[in-house]
Amino acid sequence: MLTRKSVLVAADEAGFTGGMDQVLSAAAALSLPVAAALLAVEWAVAGVLHPLLDRLPKPARVAARAESAERLGKIMPGWYAAALVCAAACATIAALDPATHPLVLTVWTVATLGYGIVILVTVRRLVPLNDRLAGWRGEPTATWAQTAARWDRLHHRRTVALGLLLG
């Protein structure tokens, strides 16, 4: 069972000489770069990669989007899970320390819930669209264009949500 004492013992064994505030600071020092890099990649897809791919001739556009959907579809789930786990660790550490300011606990709890919601929406809405785009071969049809446009709209919303969670 995770308790304040078990966290402090683990922190002491890892070389932390301070209290829970230092443990929380260390966890946050890991969590924030993970979340920022996740947001940066998603922004780059929305603001750079897809606009560039949309300039390609249609068959090349379909192939390039299929390849990027397949590759990023393998990498991004782990990154989302890492962001969720890091935020949850910070929320847990904050909850275990009675000296933690309530606002700090609230921020990490909201971040954890936010990442959970983003992951749920991603799995339910974006993953099926991404899988269709990843498997598409040949000329784009109206169905392909509608699927790509819907994925882009949902992805833009997800990117905004990630920005709000980090901000």
Residue 122 CB-half CA count within 13 A: 20
Q: What pLDDT is recorded for position 99?
A: 87
pLDDT digits over 97-131, tens only? 888 899 999 999 999 999 999 999 999 999 999 99
Q: What pLDDT is recorded for position 145?
A: 95
Place 21 in a pLDDT band, splitting at 50, 70 and 90.
confident
Percent of the chain that is helix, strand, coil (3-state, to 5): 85, 0, 15
Name which residue leads in pLDDT, 8 or 102: 102
C-beta pairs of 25-29 under 8 Å, 24+ apart in sequence: 27/86, 27/89, 27/90, 27/93, 28/90
